[in-house]
Amino acid sequence: MKYCICTFLAIILIAFTCKAQQNTLEYYLSHAINNSPLIKDLQNQVLSFSIDSQIVRAGLRPQVTGNSNNMYAPIIKGIGYDEAITNIAQVSALVSVNKSILSNKSIEAQLGSFRIQSQNASNNIRMSQQDLRKTITDQYIVTFGEQLQLELNREIAILLNQEDTLLKRLTQNNVYKQTDYLSFLVTLQQQSLSTAELEIQYQYDLATLNYLSGLQDTTGIALADPQLQLLSIPEYTNSIFYRQYILDSLKLKNDRSLIDLNYRPKINLFADGGYNSSLQFDPYKNFGFSFGFSIAVPIYDGRQKKMQYAKIDLQERTRQAKRDFFISQHQQQIRQLRRQLASTEQLISQINKQITYSETLIKTNHKLLATGDVRLTDFILTINNYLSAKSLVTQNYVNRLKIVNQLNYWSYP
């Protein structure tokens, strides 16, 4: 009867697993990228730099301003402001036009600054997406590994429960000792506790995966095998990570150009027209206009230009040191990960052979168990060895997925 109940529960478990909602890695990646506030912030920065460029271009056009100043300073019984200063009254309504004269180099340097910042933000978007992909994929792999382990534990639990009915009857018939049967029950209980503990950890890591992806899904789900494939890794000079050093170099070069432009003469044209009067003599005739220009020529500022150049030189040396370190570490890490991947795949192949032997041994012992021709301790040891081998292959499969994920992190140009 108990055997039938266990079989029925196993069928229910398998049916539930098959019908459970199954989410893929891409499901979490797409939601994580779409929900990331950092990526949204960087996307808005790109739009902001585009607006800044438009503001600069708008500032190059003539700037028209309307001004009106109206003042009256009465002199009462000889007491009041000096008439020579105030003219007693002033009424003006003027339209002013100002136009800064900038060279093409100056305009290009200002626009170039925003263009480089926009490119830098766009590159940061791609790097942030890569970091997010790696983080989400790592968490997905960890959770999927725990799901595999849970499935294995449930498989072993079904096997042990099936044997429990037989062993109990054989023990009652004095085929096996009571102590041997108690040892089997301890193994069964330990397996149950291990499964319960793993279930708690699985639910926690699944909740963490949802949290990192910006999801609030609390329904029971199953994770599909990510089946990560190793992607081709481009030359480091073509990667988004190396591009950051190129953009930093362009920024420093543009900063040097901006410093040079600050020490060039600046010319500004201006003109105004309208009404400007003290209302003292023929105020109806005080309509007119004026125009002119101003020039500012830097002469001496305490050698600040040289100091600013020195700061840029320091930043360039820092950039070169970081770039050289990145190149060295990148190549070394790729070689190490590839060696680790090859070793892991070889180990998985060896463990699978051991699992085949263990499965054969379990089937043989199961037949001998019914006749009492195998020691119960040996049977328990066989199951434990099978569980250890399956756990080890699961662990190494998860490790392989993690290594592939680390390698694929460098795979996007």
Tell me which DSSP letter residue 227 carries: -
Out of 61-65, 108-112, 386-390, pick the least confident: 386-390
- For the beta carbon of residue 356, count every other beta carbon within 10 angstroms: 11
Separation CA 124–CA 122 (nearest Å)? 5
Separation CA 292–CA 296 (nearest Å)? 14
Separation CA 383–CA 378 (nearest Å)? 9
Q: For residue 312, give Cα distances in angstroms to 78, 251, 262, 315, 325.
A: 65, 10, 15, 5, 20
Separation CA 376–CA 365 (nearest Å)? 9
Q: pLDDT digit string (tens) for 244-280?
A: 999 999 999 999 998 988 888 888 998 988 888 877 7
Amino acid at 134: K
CATH number given to 2-11+26-61+102-263+298-408: 1.20.1600.10
Spatial contact of 31 and 209, defined as CB atoms under 8 Å apart: no
The pLDDT score that the predictor gives to residue 20 is 57
Mean pLDDT across the chain, nearest whole number?
85
Q: What percent of the chain has pLDDT over 70?
A: 92
Q: pLDDT digit string (tens) for 101-116?
A: 888 888 888 888 999 9
In a 10 Å sphere around its CB, with 0-12 CB exposed, 13-18 middle and 19+ buried, how is residue 209 labelled? buried
In the predicted structure, residue 13 carries a pLDDT above the cut 50: no
Separation CA 228–CA 344 (nearest Å)? 15
Rounded mean pLDDT of 27-37? 93
Q: Is the dihedral of CA 67, 72, 73, 78 positive or negative?
A: positive
pTM of whole model > 0.85? no
In the predicted structure, residue 19 carries a pLDDT above the cut 50: no
* Bridge partners for 277 per DSSP: 91
Higher pLDDT, 291 or 1: 291
Residue ranges of E strands in 144-217: none
Which residue's structure tokens are 């100043």? 69
For 145, residues 6+ apart whose C-beta sits below 8 A from its C-beta are 394, 395, 397, 398, 401
* Bridge partners for 268 per DSSP: 100, 294
DSSP three-state, residue 100: strand
